[in-house]
A and B are shown apart, each in its own frame.
Chain A
Amino acid sequence: MIEAQGLTKVYGDKTAVGGVDFTVQAGRVTGFLGPNGAGKSTTMRMIMGLDRPTAGTVTVNGVPFARHVAPLREIGALLDAKAVHTSRSAYNHLLAMAATHSIPKKRVHEVIEMTGLADVARKKVKGFSLGMGQRLGIAAALLGDPQTIILDEPVNGLDPEGVVWVRNLVKFLASEGRTVFLSSHLMSEMALTADHLIVIGRGKIIADAPIKDIITGKGQTRTRVRTDQPDQLMNVLAGTGVSVEVQDHELLEVKGLDPRQIARAALDSRVMIYELTPLQASLEEAYMELTKDEVEYHSLITTGVPVPVQSGGN
């Protein structure tokens, strides 16, 4: 379990993380989502004791990271794909890390096998692709068989097979009762992997809830309706808190009413409808809605709608 209380990091006059409180529970995958510069990596570095908080505390299993007797056996972290001296081989890197905790060579070979690095383990990390670097970082995180695993952007640069592997790995680790905390800006990936989400923007926690609640929570339910009498149906449905958008000749999108209410209104007014589909907001939409005021860097697309740079096409 990771607990942050009033965790703050200020660089000069810029507040990277502004007094955040959150708890990452064991036994589930907690996603850490936020735009670029929102403070995700800074928060993770503070958890690992690499950056000193300006104020507040963060503990892992009740104890600040640095006070653990055997830190690598408590928490494993992938903070940066290449937190490695690139002139050293992957095997020697892991061996040196393992030596600090008397982790046997057998375990070094195990994590190399587990992460699919066996063919390149004796090669210098310099020649590694980003994906192989990620695998090495994950291998290092798993070295001490830790109860808590922190992964910063673990699927960055991985091929599709690697992405699926990471997804299954973190789910498996969580199913074993471990605490898994991973950041990503790939929302589709997050939707598939995480059970719980902590959304951060401009150094503040915007949302901290199960992923299902985030998806259904803020955005209103929308329903797609097809009818041969769109004008008549629009009149019937009109009311406070209801918005109807004509999307095509006979296609409407209704917000503010659920499908049952729409069907009842249509039946009462004898308007035939031939499609009634509840639409679920994607995580992406929910996230945009949540963070629209919080993104650090906006880019404008042609319609003038602000979108975050990282997911925008511009």
Chain B
Amino acid sequence: MSTSTVAQPGPRSAGPAHSSNARTASPGPGPSFFRVLNSEFIKFRTLLSTLILLAATAVVMVGFGALSAWGTGQFADAAGSDPQAAEALAAQGGDLAVTVPTSGIAFAQLILGSLGVLLMSSEFTTGMARSTFAAVPKRIPAFVAKLAVVMVSAFILTAVSTYVAGLVAVPILDNYGLKLDLASSQSIKLLLVNSAYVAAVAAIGMALGTLVRNSAGGIMSLVGLFFVAPIAFQLIPGDFFVEARKYLPGNTLTPLTAVEHVPDTLEVWQAGLVLGAWVVVPLALATILLKIRDV
């Protein structure tokens, strides 16, 4: 180890004991991306409120799947005698059952979008950000790591609870003579697209939380964007709002999941691009501001 140990036999050198004065240039490992990712995952799983929101999402998804299976069954029964209901059924391509597992998606996006807001805004409201960014002074890796944790968790949770909702719905639908094949290509497409959509909403939530740095403000912005704006745009007269309404992030899900094109919505490729822009633009803005603002 050392060149001055000639007189000392044996492999163990008599190097000086650790002294804080004699530090080498590299004091030890620093914040690599995977270490920061690990840290963000620890932060994610050690907050009870986060786990409660995740559990609530699963419960709501499965619960709505079951409720919707029952409602759809009733509806299909009625369709046998009611010509109006039969017409509505036909308009849906005759397959209502396939959308049953994802019927709770509006609530999943609200809860997981809010979670995205909270995980970022709470960094600032609690002062945790000072610890986070003292450990990762470049800041962006911590943000990207948190984004990855949030999006992957939102995707997996939505996918798993959609599947479980499907498993619960199958026997209920069966009672009404409706078939739900969870392995059909449309079922799989719905599961994947909805999960990706919820992950995208969570990402938008994180961007809002970073920009607003305030939990209530962030969640209100999210609700405004996904729940208030679509209704407001519908109420305001004028072609502009009819057209603009299609471009709201919440209105991209219908074209992305429909079997056939639904009137007054974007084409699939347009919807994909618009949703992508809704994710990328706020995130880019959030990243830039996070880098330049004081913590």
Contacts of B295 in A (CB 8 A): 45, 50-51
Q: Mark B1-41, 1 if CB is under 8 A from A, else 0.
A: 00000000000000000011101001111110001101110
Instruction: List residues of A (27-55) whose CB comes within 8 Å of B's CBs.
Output: 45, 48-52
Instruction: From the candidates A52, A96, A101, name the one contacting B42 in the complex (CB within 8 A).
Output: A96
User: Are B48 and A87 in contact, CB atoms less than 8 angstroms apart?
Assistant: yes
Instruction: From the candidates A73, A89, A97, A103, name the one contacting B131 in the complex (CB within 8 A).
Output: A97
Contacts of B130 in A (CB 8 A): 45, 48, 50, 79-80, 83
A95 on the B face (CB < 8 A): yes
Contacts of B294 in A (CB 8 A): 45, 50-52
Contacts of B229 in A (CB 8 A): none
* Nearest-neighbor residue (CB-CB) of A73 within chain B: B27
B257 on the A face (CB < 8 A): no
Nearest chain A CB to B274 CB, angstrom units:
34
User: Are A102 and B29 in contact, CB atoms less than 8 angstroms apart?
Assistant: yes
Instruction: From the candidates A50, A52, A96, A147, name the one contacting B134 in the complex (CB within 8 A).
Output: A50
User: Are B131 and A70 in contact, CB atoms less than 8 angstroms apart?
Assistant: no
Counting chain A residues whose Cβ lies within 8 A of the other chain, the interface size class is 35 or more
User: Are A88 and B46 in contact, CB atoms less than 8 angstroms apart?
Assistant: yes
Query: Which of A61-69, A200-208, A283-291 sits within the interface?
Result: A61-69
CA distance A74 to B36 in the complex (A): 17
Contacts of A99 in B (CB 8 A): 35, 38-39, 42
User: Are A65 and B122 in contact, CB atoms less than 8 angstroms apart?
Assistant: no
* Nearest-neighbor residue (CB-CB) of A50 within chain B: B295
A86 on the B face (CB < 8 A): yes
User: Are A100 and B36 in contact, CB atoms less than 8 angstroms apart?
Assistant: yes
CA distance A210 to B36 in the complex (A): 41
User: Are B46 and A89 in contact, CB atoms less than 8 angstroms apart?
Assistant: yes
Contacts of B281 in A (CB 8 A): none
A85 on the B face (CB < 8 A): yes
* Nearest-neighbor residue (CB-CB) of B142 within chain A: A100
A178 on the B face (CB < 8 A): yes
* Nearest-neighbor residue (CB-CB) of A67 within chain B: B137
CA distance A189 to B72 in the complex (A): 74
Contacts of B40 in A (CB 8 A): 96
Nearest chain A CB to B134 CB, angstrom units:
5
Contacts of A176 in B (CB 8 A): 20-21
* Nearest-neighbor residue (CB-CB) of A140 within chain B: B131
A82 on the B face (CB < 8 A): yes
User: Are B46 and A84 in contact, CB atoms less than 8 angstroms apart?
Assistant: no
Interface size on B, residues (CB 8 A): 38
User: Are A69 and B26 in contact, CB atoms less than 8 angstroms apart?
Assistant: yes
B189 on the A face (CB < 8 A): no
* Nearest-neighbor residue (CB-CB) of A77 within chain B: B134
User: Are A100 and B135 in contact, CB atoms less than 8 angstroms apart?
Assistant: yes
CA distance A210 to B47 in the complex (A): 46
Contacts of B48 in A (CB 8 A): 87
Q: Given the known inter-chain contacts A50-B294, A68-B30, A147-B20, please indicate yes or no for A86 contacting B131, CB distance below 8 A.
A: no
Q: Given the known inter-chain contacts A50-B294, A51-B295, A147-B27, please indicate yes or no for A85 contacting B43, CB distance below 8 A.
A: yes
User: Are A96 and B43 in contact, CB atoms less than 8 angstroms apart?
Assistant: yes
User: Are B35 and A87 in contact, CB atoms less than 8 angstroms apart?
Assistant: no
User: Are A82 and B126 in contact, CB atoms less than 8 angstroms apart?
Assistant: yes
User: Are A87 and B47 in contact, CB atoms less than 8 angstroms apart?
Assistant: yes
User: Are B39 and A50 in contact, CB atoms less than 8 angstroms apart?
Assistant: no
Contacts of A80 in B (CB 8 A): 127, 130
User: Are A83 and B127 in contact, CB atoms less than 8 angstroms apart?
Assistant: yes
* Nearest-neighbor residue (CB-CB) of B138 within chain A: A66
Q: Given the known inter-chain contacts A50-B294, A72-B134, A92-B42, please indicate yes or no for A101 contacting B31, CB distance below 8 A.
A: yes
B128 on the A face (CB < 8 A): yes
Nearest chain B CB to A187 CB, angstrom units:
27
User: Are B46 and A83 in contact, CB atoms less than 8 angstroms apart?
Assistant: no
Contacts of A101 in B (CB 8 A): 28-31, 35, 135
CA distance A70 to B27 in the complex (A): 7
* Nearest-neighbor residue (CB-CB) of A143 within chain B: B135
User: Are B35 and A100 in contact, CB atoms less than 8 angstroms apart?
Assistant: yes
CA distance A71 to B26 in the complex (A): 11
Contacts of B136 in A (CB 8 A): 71, 100
User: Are A82 and B30 in contact, CB atoms less than 8 angstroms apart?
Assistant: no
* Nearest-neighbor residue (CB-CB) of B135 within chain A: A100
User: Are A96 and B46 in contact, CB atoms less than 8 angstroms apart?
Assistant: yes
B49 on the A face (CB < 8 A): yes
* Nearest-neighbor residue (CB-CB) of B32 within chain A: A102
CA distance A87 to B48 in the complex (A): 8
CA distance A176 to B19 in the complex (A): 8
Using a CB–CB cutoff of 8 Å, the interface residues on chain B facing chain A are 19-21, 23, 26-31, 35-36, 38-40, 42-43, 46-49, 122-123, 126-131, 133-138, 292, 294-295
10 tightest CB-CB pairs across the interface, nearest first? A70-B30, A66-B137, A99-B39, A92-B46, A83-B130, A73-B27, A96-B42, A50-B295, A51-B294, A177-B21
Using a CB–CB cutoff of 8 Å, the interface residues on chain A facing chain B are 45, 48-52, 65-66, 68-74, 77, 79-80, 82-89, 92-93, 95-97, 99-103, 140, 144-145, 147, 176-178
A and B contact pairs by CB, cutoff 8 A, 14 listed: A45-B130, A48-B130, A48-B137, A50-B130, A52-B292, A52-B294, A71-B134, A72-B134, A83-B134, A84-B131, A92-B42, A95-B46, A100-B39, A147-B20
